[in-house]
Chains A and B, each alone.
Chain A
Amino acid sequence: MTATIDVPVAASRPVPVLRGYRFELVKLVSQWRVRALLLAAWIGPTVVVVAIHQQGTLPADTVFGRWMHATGWAGPLVALGFAGTWALPLLTSVVAGDVFAAEDRLGTWCHLLVAMRSPRRIFLGKALASLTVIGLLVAGLACSSAVAGLLAVGDQPLTGLDGHVLASADAGRAVLLAWICALAPTLALAAIGLLGSVTMGRSPMGLLLPAVVAFGMQVAQILPLPVAVRLALPGYAFLAWRGLFTSPAQLGPLLVGIVVSLLWAVLATVAAYRVFLRRDFTTAHDGSGRRAFTAGVLPLATLLALTVAVLGAATPASGSGIDQSKLQRSLATAFAHLYRAQTQELHRPDVTEAQLQTSATCTKGDGLVANSGPGSGWRCVVSWHLPGTSAVGNATYQLDVTADGRYVADGDGPRAVNGYFMVRTPSGDAPNPLWRFDGIVDLLASTGRG
């Protein structure tokens, strides 16, 4: 028996990747659900931002939500927070999670392989086409919310998460950078979607995988996990962009989050590629639990374990990354910045942060529990020096600190400083910047730095 199957093929010319990419793009965009998603991504945020602008209630539980009436730059950041939690996982599910499974569902693999003549190029075309559509969706969410915010409210300066004020140009740059940073975890979810789509075939789990993974990561971010585990999850970069809105920027967690996300994206894509090249195109593919485990879960779990180990060894932070001294430092800084804002509102003589010499003392659970970790039982007293006098002012805050390092400081008095949501200015009542504000703790900073 002759065996000539190792002879290299000379007469088969695969279709160039660019044409395959266009072909896949045409197929994706012809689907009504993809068109609907694109439409929703480009119009939905505009509708929401304008609707919020029209009503009195603000989404204060969302980071930057309380500033939506003050500056148009808050709109795209609120949209980014929502997108990272809900929109992007679902969008990547529908696009990347279905891009391979759709061929199984339609029974078109044979047709596609005969037409393209190369499984490798099919994979590349599909991956690039789905990334393009996801990119358009992300761009739509960002542009739509930014344009709507700027048109409805204006490009006023933005108050950062440590109370410092970003000029409108700086705010615009930071908003753009934040959305670009969010591309990294989006890529990771898209790659997980590709992997699910390849390994699960027609099974609905393939389609749902990015959403399930994203939901799992959201749950993980709520739990009081060690900081090394938290940062080793690809979804952390959906939160870490907040560090861009402090001065100095908290770049450590952001860079770690981006690198981790990109590692997940690369590994999941490679795993999907390997599974795809090994599949049998002549039979319907309904997914295999064993293959999904060995090709998908195992490599990603290994990556997670390695990342946790590396971060645990290489970063100075331990435990939850939230401790008393970091919180005190962060709160004192934010208070000082916002005190200046209040001073300006009240048309009082300007003071500097250095003159205020602000400090804070925080305890958790009235001293009955350890002064560390997330929770709503933090109580802080902020002290500052009144310029030109030897008097020291004190203000109390209740802090609700979440496991991702974000906190909401709720003023508890005195009423003239932070105890009431409005302050009386010479031109009438105005929102009190010290009454309630958002802050953030750098999880990776060593104890004593905020």
Chain B
Amino acid sequence: MGASLTVRARGITKCFGEVVALDAVDLDVTPGRIHGLVGPNGAGKTTLLGLLLGLAVADRGSLEILGVPVGRTLSAPDGVAGFVDGPGLYPSLTARANLAALAALRGRDARTAGVDDVLHEVGLTDVADDRVRGFSLGMRQRLGLAAALLTRPRLLVLDEPTNGLDPAGQHHMHRVLARLAAEGAAVVLSSHRMDDVGALCSEVTLLRTGRVVFSGSVEKLRAESGDLEYRLVTTAPDVARRLALDAPDLHVLDDRPGGLRAAVDPEVGPRAAGDALVVRASVAALDDLVVRLVGWGVALRELTPVISPLETAFLALTEQQDDVREQREGAR
């Protein structure tokens, strides 16, 4: 099993002085999969990514990358590419010159190394000859990805790759990562955006204060979410509210239109104002409510989870949900 893994980490511990950044972390990354690394700030994600990139050495534990044990030397094995803490690019060079210098470093001719191809792939062809000094964060992220692609990696390690990306940039990023995975490369990425994780990753490792609190498929993580909060907009808010209050195993979180949500979340407030109803329920209880609404002739215009299942699972597993609830109560 271990031989077929791109990354096999067992009991990895890394300390910075008295701070334990990683505490006996296990990690398995499979070729052809996109593996999400999630966790609150300070959970140890970047430290773990740094170990994979050869930027730091573990104090204890074993780490194999692409089937080779990682030694004490600071260096990434061949076939590993990526970035942590943002892509490293030189502002005085153009996008093309940055990539050409990188290709030359690898002993490849810039003309045949595929510089233009990777620039095209990340959507930076039009600005290829502009100096990186004027690039936005999103453009730098895309160029960082292009730099990683240039080395044809078998393991791509990315720290918050969608930070600063506009929807088009996110689309580019998702498409490129999906293609890489389809071609057999393993991708490990950290992200605070659970929608990214849900859309891209097939496997997730959730870290909290340096420890693994969850590791498995995205579906399995989604199932950890338990009861979710849903927002309903109907053609008859009063009837819907009455039916919800009468429904078993369903908890109405705001008993007046727009009240609670508007108070808690300014983003939700204007949309909730007037007709919205927010409930917490299991999927079965929610199905039952929908059936009852339809039975009463009430049309359902919108039904969305207030917090996505992945985010709910994240909050639950990192024990931040209580904090969020306390904030809501305080706001109320």
What 1/0 mask marks residues of chain B from 71 to 92 whose CB sits below 8 Å from any chain A CB?
A: 1111111111111111111111
Asked whether, in the complex, the Cβ of A26 is within 8 Å of the Cβ of B101, the reply is yes
Find A5's partner among B24, B46, B66, B70 (CB 8 Å cutoff).
B70
Nearest CB in chain A: distance from B207 CB, A: 16
Nearest CB in chain B: distance from A162 CB, A: 49
Does residue A180 face the partner (Cβ distance < 8 Å to B)? no
Asked whether, in the complex, the Cβ of A111 is within 8 Å of the Cβ of B76, the reply is no
Q: Kindly list chain A residues whose C-beta atoms are within 8 Å of the C-beta of B70.
A: 5, 9
Q: Beyond A12-B75, A14-B75, A115-B102, is A1–B60 a contact (Cβ under 8 Å)?
A: yes
A31 to B55, CA, bound (A): 26
Asked whether, in the complex, the Cβ of B76 is within 8 Å of the Cβ of A12, the reply is yes
Q: Kindly list chain A residues whose C-beta atoms are within 8 Å of the C-beta of B10.
A: 1-2
List residues of B (291-329) whose CB comes within 8 Å of A's CBs.
none
Interface size range on A against B: 35 or more
Q: Chain A at the B interface: mostly helix, strand, loop or mixed?
A: loop
Q: Kindly list chain A residues whose C-beta atoms are within 8 Å of the C-beta of B127.
A: none
Segment of A39-47, A101-109, A142-150, A347-355 engaged in the interface with chain B = A101-109
Segment of B103-111, B194-202, B216-224, B266-274 engaged in the interface with chain A = B103-111
List residues of A (1-41) whose CB comes within 8 Å of B's CBs.
1-16, 19-20, 22-23, 26-27, 30-32
Segment of A116-124, A285-293, A379-387 engaged in the interface with chain B = A116-124
Q: Kindly list chain B residues whose C-beta atoms are within 8 Å of the C-beta of A112.
A: 88
Q: Kindly list chain B residues whose C-beta atoms are within 8 Å of the C-beta of A109.
A: 55, 88
Find B105's partner among A2, A23, A31, A113 (CB 8 Å cutoff).
A23
Q: Kindly list chain B residues whose C-beta atoms are within 8 Å of the C-beta of A10.
A: 68
Find A114's partner among B62, B69, B80, B86 (CB 8 Å cutoff).
B80
Does residue B210 face the partner (Cβ distance < 8 Å to A)? no
Does residue A282 face the partner (Cβ distance < 8 Å to B)? yes
**Cβ-closest chain A residue relative to B157:** A114
Q: Kindly list chain B residues whose C-beta atoms are within 8 Å of the C-beta of A6.
A: 71-72
A171 to B24, CA, bound (A): 72
Asked whether, in the complex, the Cβ of A106 is within 8 Å of the Cβ of B90, the reply is yes
What 1/0 mask marks residues of chain A from 191 to 207 whose CB sits below 8 Å from any chain B CB?
A: 00000000000000000
Q: Kindly list chain A residues whose C-beta atoms are within 8 Å of the C-beta of B80.
A: 114
Asked whether, in the complex, the Cβ of B75 is within 8 Å of the Cβ of A118, the reply is yes
Q: Kindly list chain B residues whose C-beta atoms are within 8 Å of the C-beta of A3.
A: 60-62
- Among A9, A16, A19, A109, chain B packs the most CB atoms within 10 A around the CB of A9
Does residue B188 face the partner (Cβ distance < 8 Å to A)? no
Asked whether, in the complex, the Cβ of B75 is within 8 Å of the Cβ of A20, the reply is no
Does residue A280 face the partner (Cβ distance < 8 Å to B)? yes
A356 to B291, CA, bound (A): 126
**9 A-B residue pairs with CB within 8 Å:** A2-B11, A9-B70, A11-B79, A12-B73, A27-B90, A30-B93, A113-B74, A282-B46, A282-B50
Q: A27-B90, A109-B88, A111-B144 are in contact. List 7 more A-B contacts (CB 8 A).
A: A5-B72, A9-B69, A10-B68, A23-B104, A27-B92, A110-B55, A114-B82
B interface, CB within 8 angstroms of A = 10-11, 16, 24, 46-47, 50, 53-58, 60-63, 65-66, 68-93, 97, 101-102, 104-107, 144, 147
A interface, CB within 8 angstroms of B = 1-16, 19-20, 22-23, 26-27, 30-32, 106-119, 280-282
